[in-house]
Amino acid sequence: MGTGRDVHLDTPLTNVAIAYRPEGFIADQICPIVPVPKQSDAYFVWNIADAFRVEEDYRAPGTEANVITCDMSSGTFFAKNYALKSRTPYEDIKNADAGYIFATRTARSEFIKDKLMLAMERRIAQQVTSGSNVGSYSAIGSGWTDYTNAQPIVDLNTAITNVQDVTGYKPNSIIFGQYAWKHFRENTNVITRIYGASGMGDGARMVTLNNVKSIFEVDRVLIGGAYYSSADEGQAASLGQIWNDNVLVYYAPLKPRIDKPSFMYSFRWNALGADMQARVFQLPRADSEEVQLGYYQDEKITASTLAFLLTGVGSSQ
C-alpha cells in the first residue's frame, strides 16, 4: 500500500467528483446531511407532548411566572465508513497520452461516486419503504392504474392528515416512486383538479411537480427514479426500480435545523479527507495507481411519526 507521501488530493479531479450529480438520486434530499465533529455521538429528541401542551401562563400581580418543563430523550449515531476504489496498472498509464489518463481518472472517480450514491439510495429507500420505520402505512383501496376510478388525491390527503393529527406538523414533502408517479400523473381526477373539466385533450394537460406542490401545499415533491441491477458480477443486468410503486409523505426541514424535528437526518463525519473526495494512491509494488472515494455517514430515522407510507399504489387491496 502507499505511504503518506504516496497519496495526494488531486484538485481538478476532486472538483469534478464533487460536482457530479447522478440522475434520479434523491437520498440526500430525504434526510438532510448534518456535519458532525465525531464519528459517534448523541442527538436530542424533543417531546411532542411538551411542545404542544397549552400552559397556564397567567401571572397574578406580585407573583413569579409559572415554571414550565420540557423533557428530552436522546438517540445515538455511528458514522460508518463507506468507500470504493478503482485500480489502473502502470502499463495502461504508460501506453496512453496525458489527456487520456486525466480523463480516465475523472471517469473512474465519477463511476465510483455513482456506485456510492446508488448504494446510499437503495439503503435509505429500504429504510423508508418499510412499514415498521414510519408512523403509519397503508395500501390503497383502488389501484392508481385505474385512471378513472382511483382517487390518488384523496389517498395522499388522508396520509397528510394522519401525520398532522398525530404530530402537529403538516408534511412538507412527498416522494413518488417512478412507477407511482407515472400513474398518478395520468389519473383523470388529478388532471381535472389541476385544469378543470375543459374540452382540451388530457394529453395537452400535463401534470408537473409544481402542480403537485400547489395541490397539496408542500415545499418539495421528489421522484425516485433510480434503478439498480440485482445481477451478480459478470452477469447480464437485471434492472429494477429502487422506489417502485411506493409513495412517502413526510416532514423534514429543507436544511438541517436544531429547533425543528425531521423524519430523517444523515450524520456525516468529514474525517481523513474522505467526504466524497477523490484521492489518488500510487502503488509501486503493484505497478498500479488507485482512485478512491468514500465517506462516513449514518442515516437515522429520528422521528418516525412524521411520515406516512402508501404501499403498492399500482394494485388494489
Domain assignment of residue 263, yes or no: yes
> In this structure, is residue 316 part of a structural domain?
no
Q: Which residues of the chain have pLDDT under 50?
A: 1-9, 11-12, 17-22, 202, 317
The residue type of 115 is K
In whole angstroms, what is the distance from residue 28 CA to residue 263 CA? 13
pLDDT at position 105 is 82
Q: Is residue 227 part of a domain?
A: yes
Question: Does residue 116 fall inside a structural domain?
Answer: yes
Which domain does 284 fall in, by range?
4-311
Give the number of domains in the chain.
Answer: 1
Contact 2/282 with Cβ under 8 angstroms?
yes
In a domain, 262, yes or no: yes
Q: Which three cell numbers stand for residue 182?
A: 407515472
Amino acid at 5: R
pLDDT digits (tens, 9 = 90+) for 214-240: 999 999 999 998 988 888 888 888 888
What would the pLDDT profile of 94-143 be if each residue is shown by its tens digit?
A: 887 766 666 678 888 888 999 999 999 999 999 999 999 999 999 988 89
Q: Contact 252/66 with Cβ under 8 angstroms?
A: no
Asked if the structure places residue 80 within a domain, the reply is yes
The predicted model scores a pTM of 0.82
* pLDDT of amino acid 198: 65
Question: What pLDDT is recorded for position 300?
Answer: 94
What is the CATH number for 14?
3.90.1690.10
Please indicate, yes or no, if residue 317 is contained in any of the structural domains.
Answer: no
Residue 205 lies in a domain: yes
